């Protein structure tokens, strides 16, 4: 596609439920990133994929959060037993050349998650 | 640890005014520096970048110069327009570490 696509754009759920957030990166981008942005703050790194593998998941806040990228393209961020504190905008980005000066990350519009 | 500090907003200016949004950083090593912009209802877009000291990034009339001696990357524009109203984020990236580290963002409001 032309850009990074994230679905849904908005997700409202109840405390304790399970949610999945989807990211479709720019075609050909091998690197994919998930960030979380709370109101009035900059994005916070969650996890980075290079191809199919999670190269760095050090930003995931706890074991309720998990992400996959089984075919090296689309990624899904999964949150179990959601809590009100999980409410935020979840951003996905992709890039062509991670770890170099060319590392320009292209962002999707985000999924706004609201946990009631 | 590595961090980015931006001036707090909102910054409110009249159309055609001169804009400066301050950004300073702390980093081990030699980061690349970025300004991203987030227009209302849209995703983050790269505005400009600089990858080494004294580089100047520029785009859409905006400029920022990578100043290693003052660890700064201030964003400037000579004459702002109403359409520049958005949230601006300064960020850094170390070549050895692919994740972007972000400032808190500065909301810019331009009044006609």
CA–CA gap between residue A3 and residue A16 (Å, rounded): 32
Instruction: Evaluate whether B63 touches B56 at the Cβ level (below 8 Å).
Output: yes
Per-residue pLDDT of chain A (116 residues; tens, 9 = 90+): 589 999 999 999 999 999 999 999 999 899 999 999 998 889 999 999 999 999 899 999 999 999 999 999 999 999 999 999 999 999 999 998 766 656 789 999 999 999 99
Q: What is the pLDDT of residue A1?
A: 52
Q: What per-residue confidence (pLDDT) applies to A104?
A: 85
* Residue corresponding to tokens 């504190």: A85
Q: Do A43 and B102 touch (CB under 8 A)?
A: yes
A2 touches chain B (CB under 8 A): no
Confidence category of residue B95, pLDDT binned at 50, 70, 90: low
The residue of B6, B44, B48, B94 whose CB has the most chain A CBs within 10 angstroms, and thus the best one to mutate to test that interface, is: B44
- The verdict on B50 touching A (C-beta cutoff 8 Å) is no
Q: Rounded CA gap, A3 and A25, in Å?
A: 7
CA B72, distance to chain mean position in Å, is: 10
């Amino acid at each position: 596609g032309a850009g990074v696509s994230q679905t849904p754009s908005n997700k409202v759920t109840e405390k304790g439920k399970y949610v999945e957030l989807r990211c479709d990166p720019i075609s050909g981008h091998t690197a994919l990133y998930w960030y979380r942005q709370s109101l009035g703050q900059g994005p916070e790194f969650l996890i980075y994929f290079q191809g199919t593998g999670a190269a760095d998941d050090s930003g995931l806040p706890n074991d309720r959060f998990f992400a996959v990228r089984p075919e090296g393209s689309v990624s899904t961020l999964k949150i179990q037993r959601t809590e009100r504190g999980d409410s935020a905008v979840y951003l996905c980005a992709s890039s062509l050349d991670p770890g170099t000066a060319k590392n320009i990350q292209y962002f999707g519009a985000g999924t706004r998650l609201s946990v009631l | 640890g590595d961090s980015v500090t931006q001036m707090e907003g909102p910054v409110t200016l009249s159309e055609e005014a001169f804009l400066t949004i301050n950004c300073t950083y702390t980093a081990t090593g030699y980061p690349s520096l970025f300004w991203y912009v987030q227009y209302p209802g849209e995703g983050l877009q790269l505005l400009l970048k600089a990858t080494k000291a004294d580089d100047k990034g520029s785009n859409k009339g905006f400029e920022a110069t990578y100043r290693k001696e003052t660890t700064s990357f201030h964003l400037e524009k000579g004459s702002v327009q109403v359409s520049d109203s958005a949230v601006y984020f300064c960020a850094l990236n170390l070549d050895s570490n692919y994740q972007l580290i972000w400032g808190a963002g500065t909301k810019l409001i331009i009044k006609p």
